[in-house]
Chains A and B, each alone.
Chain A
Amino acid sequence: MKFLKIALLIEYFKVAKNKKKALLFINTGIFLSIFALSSAFISIYIENKINDFEYEHAELSYQKNYYQQYHALLPVASGALNQMKIIQKDNEHFSTFIKLNPFGNRLVSKEDMYLPIILDFQSDKEDILEMIEEFTEDMDYLKLMLESYFTEEDKKYYLDMFINLEKKFLPVASAEELKDYTNIIYESDHNTLIRETIKLDSLNIDIGKFLDQSHKTQDQIEEFGKLVYFLDHFYVVVLLDMKSQINEINKKITLYSSYENKIIIIAFLLQLIVFIIIQFFEVSSINFAKSKKRKRSK
């Protein structure tokens, strides 16, 4: 099957009156094909740029979601920490009050009052220490990060906090002691409990190792609260930064989309001018050749 018969086309071109028309069509075709070529290059260049921005946007959005998810857990952790502190304080106040009478005094021992907080916090400290290590293993990076995200005042405050943080979380009780405390809390039997109700060493809550370890633990909880506050502050600033970066990318995408249309229109206009000029010269040259032929034939 033949779509195009060259011989017929040549015959068509041989007819003089068709030449001018054919030339106009061919030149228009050439003009349009050049325009199509340039538009394709412009489009592909801009589309590639936009594509890059879109992927950057997707990557940032993913990271933002990731950070948001962890940020959402902070109030839960912070709330739990506060609740724990309140429960502990309430219990201490209540115990101190009921210990004012002889019967109440025998009800609450040092073990009852101080061991739970020591065991609860000291057993779960690994994650906190890991987190501190992650932040402090490269102090230069930490400084750079604090400089980028925080004000001078906050930067100084957080830097001081991180420099001394590891020392503040030194173990309060040994692993052996923690094992003993677990046994005292969960495995006390009849005799142990009675002993606690009468032994003065257990009943005097104002002195001793447990009191000291409990105070140190409560200090560490306070410090952990500061760390949680820092993380909250950090996530807020990082998320804001990411939000502004995403907005910037959105603006760039809109800008480049508008550039694409504008550049194509400008290219079209420029090529149209070139086409008109070429067309003018070619038609003029045909007319000139025709008149020359006519003169010769006369």
Chain B
Amino acid sequence: MRRGLTNNVSFIFILIVSIATLFSYLSDQLAINTEDKLRKSKIEYENHLNKLYKYNAIETFILQTDINTGINTYSFILKRNFYIKQLLIIEHEKNTSNLLKDVLKNEKGEYASTSSDNFFSKKDFSANNIKWNLMSEVYDLIATIEETYILYDLFYRSNEKDIKEIAKQIMHKDLFSFYRSESQEPSIKKLKGIKKTKGLFFGSGTIDNQYDALDNFSIDDWVNVYRYKMVLLKNLKNKSEIMTKFSDTLADKNLILDEQQITLFSKLRELNGRKNFFILFSVVFQVLALFFLLLLFKNLLKTQSN
């Protein structure tokens, strides 16, 4: 009472001011702490979204590549036997008796007339055209696979970490390299006369080899070229299936990521609400401290007036 604080009300006001200041400080610290958590959660959420967008982009790339590969190979598949059958029919005409003996042995059924004499004025010239067409078709197929290979290689290198994270065992770097000359793909390696066939499409002397093939390749060699084309197509189909499998795994992962995104988003929302709440409390307690300080002054003023 020595300093003029003559009543209990002043003491109560001082007590309230000190408690309110303390709470304000506490709320301030909690707000800072929550802001820190919020910042970390935001970074986590952004990283998660980036991952999700990246996975979606990977999925889109794979789906589009799969669709494009499907369409590109479809016309090859439809015309797959067109040239080889032409060659076989011509060859058949030359060696009717031997071939028929081999092929039709022990078989029953009706068969078409085998004569095609009226359709080729210059049989050898026509056969050469067909052989060119067959080689050109294989060449086009290799070019189509190469395009896919280049696109995929670029895609793989830029997304390697994510692809390995998604399904390392399904997709690998060399998925579309089976067509390359140095490839050790077993289904290609075991083909009959593969060295001779590859000589038509790879290496320095391909043009000479192609001209040479027109004169010197037997019908079996041309069937080997056809088989090479079909194995390439089958490999492309298999790789496409691998991509579909990868895409399915990715879709499953995306579902999990989506669920996690919802959880992270809720956490972010909750933290933001909590932060606002603490800021409000800090401000409210600060203002309350000030308010009661003013009430204290007013009380002091009143006391002095009396």
Contact = CB atoms under 8 A, between A and B. Distances in A.
Asked if chains A and B come from one complex, the reply is yes
Interface of A: 6-7, 9-10, 13-14, 19, 22-23, 26-27, 29-30, 33-34, 36-37, 40-41, 44, 47-48, 51, 55, 58-59, 62, 66, 69, 72-73, 76-77, 80, 83-84, 87-88, 91, 101-103, 105-109, 112-113, 116, 120, 124, 185-191, 193-201, 203, 289
A73 B56 CA distance: 12
Contact of A36 (B233, B277, B287): B287
Interface of B: 3-5, 49, 56, 60, 63-64, 67-68, 70-71, 74-75, 77-82, 84-86, 88-89, 92, 99, 102-104, 107, 109-116, 119, 219-220, 223, 226-227, 230-231, 233-234, 237, 244, 261, 265, 268-269, 272-273, 276-277, 279-280, 283-284, 287-288, 290-291, 294-295, 297-298, 300-301, 304-305
Given A107-B89, A193-B84, A198-B111, 5 more contacts: A9-B300, A73-B60, A76-B64, A189-B227, A194-B88
A62 B284 CA distance: 36
Nearest to B295: A30
B290 A33 contact: yes
Contacts of A106: 85, 89, 112, 114, 116
Given A6-B3, A187-B230, A197 B92 contact: yes
B230 A26 contact: no
Given A51-B272, A197-B92, A84 B85 contact: no
A112 B287 contact: no
A232 to B, nearest CB: 16
B276 A26 contact: no
Nearest to B114: A198
A194 B305 CA distance: 124
B230 A186 contact: yes
Given A9-B297, A197-B89, A73 B63 contact: yes
B46 to A, nearest CB: 12
A107 B85 contact: yes
B84 to A, nearest CB: 6
A22 B297 CA distance: 9
Contact of A40 (B60, B88, B114, B280): B280
24 contacts: A6-B5, A6-B300, A13-B301, A19-B305, A30-B291, A37-B287, A40-B284, A40-B287, A51-B276, A73-B60, A80-B68, A87-B71, A91-B78, A102-B119, A107-B81, A120-B74, A189-B223, A193-B85, A195-B104, A195-B107, A196-B81, A197-B89, A200-B110, A200-B111
Contact of A84 (B74, B99, B231): B74
A25 B116 CA distance: 117
